[in-house]
Amino acid sequence: MSIDMAQFHEVFFEESFEGLEIMESGLLNLDQGSVDEEAINSIFRAAHSIKGGSGTFGFTQVSDYTHVMETLLDEMRDGRRPVTGGAIEALLHSVDCLRDMLSAVREGRDIDEARATDSTTELEAILKGGVAASTNEAEASEPVTADDEASVVGWHIVFTPHAGLLQTGNDIVRLFRELDDLGALTVKVDVSNLPNFDTFDPESLYLSWDLHLMGSVEIEQLDDVFSWVEGDCDLVLLPIHDPNAASDAETTTDIEAEQKASPVETVAPAEKKEPTPASANTKAEKPRAAASAGSIRVGIDKVDGLINMVGELVITQSMLGMLGENFDMSRVEKLRDGLVQLERHTRELQESVMQIRMLPISFTFSRFPRLVHDLSTKMGKKIEFKMAGENTEVDKTVMEKIGDPLVHLVRNSCDHGIEMPEERLAVGKSEVGTVELEAYHKGGNIVIEIRDDGKGLDPEKILQKAVEKGVVAEDAKLTDTQIFELIFMAGFSTAEIVTDVSGRGVGMDVVRKNIQALGGIIEIQSEVNVGTTLTVRLPLTLAILDGQTVAVGDEVYIIPLMSIIESIQVTPSMINLVAGKGETFKLRDEYLPILRLYELFDVPSVAVNELSEGLLVVVEGDGRKCGLFVDDLLGQQQVVIKSLEANYRRVDGVSGATILGDGSVALIIEVPGLIRLAHKH
Active site residues: 48, 70, 412
Give the amino acid at 572.
P
Task: List phi, psi (to 5°) of 484.
Answer: -60, -30
DSSP, collapsed to helix, strand or coil, labels residue 595 as strand
* CA-CA-CA-CA torsion sign (389, 390, 393, 399): positive
**Interatomic CA distance for residues 602 and 605, integer angstroms:** 9
Strand duo 521-527 + 531-539: pairing: antiparallel
Which value, in Å, is the radius of gyration of the alpha carbons in the chain? 32
3-state helix, strand, coil split of the chain in percent (to 5) is: 45, 25, 30
| Residue 30 φ/ψ region, left for φ over 0, alpha for ψ in the -120 to 50 degree band, beta for the rest | beta
**Interatomic CA distance for residues 208 and 542, integer angstroms:** 47
H helices present in 219-367, as ranges:
219-226, 255-260, 280-284, 290-293, 300-324, 332-356, 362-365
DSSP conformational letter for 233: E
Give the amino acid at 221.
Q
Contact 647, 659 (CB under 8 A): no
**Interatomic CA distance for residues 522 and 524, integer angstroms:** 7
Work out the burial of residue 428: count CB atoms within 10 Å of its CB; fewer than 13 is exposed, 13-18 middle, 19 or more buried: exposed
Give the amino acid at 668.
I
**Interatomic CA distance for residues 184 and 217, integer angstroms:** 10
**Interatomic CA distance for residues 167 and 178, integer angstroms:** 20
DSSP, collapsed to helix, strand or coil, labels residue 415 as helix
- Cα→Cα distances 508→233, 287, 521, Å: 33, 35, 13
Work out the burial of residue 256: count CB atoms within 10 Å of its CB; fewer than 13 is exposed, 13-18 middle, 19 or more buried: exposed
Where in 426-563 does DSSP place strands (E)? Answer: 433-442, 445-452, 521-527, 531-539, 544-552, 555-560
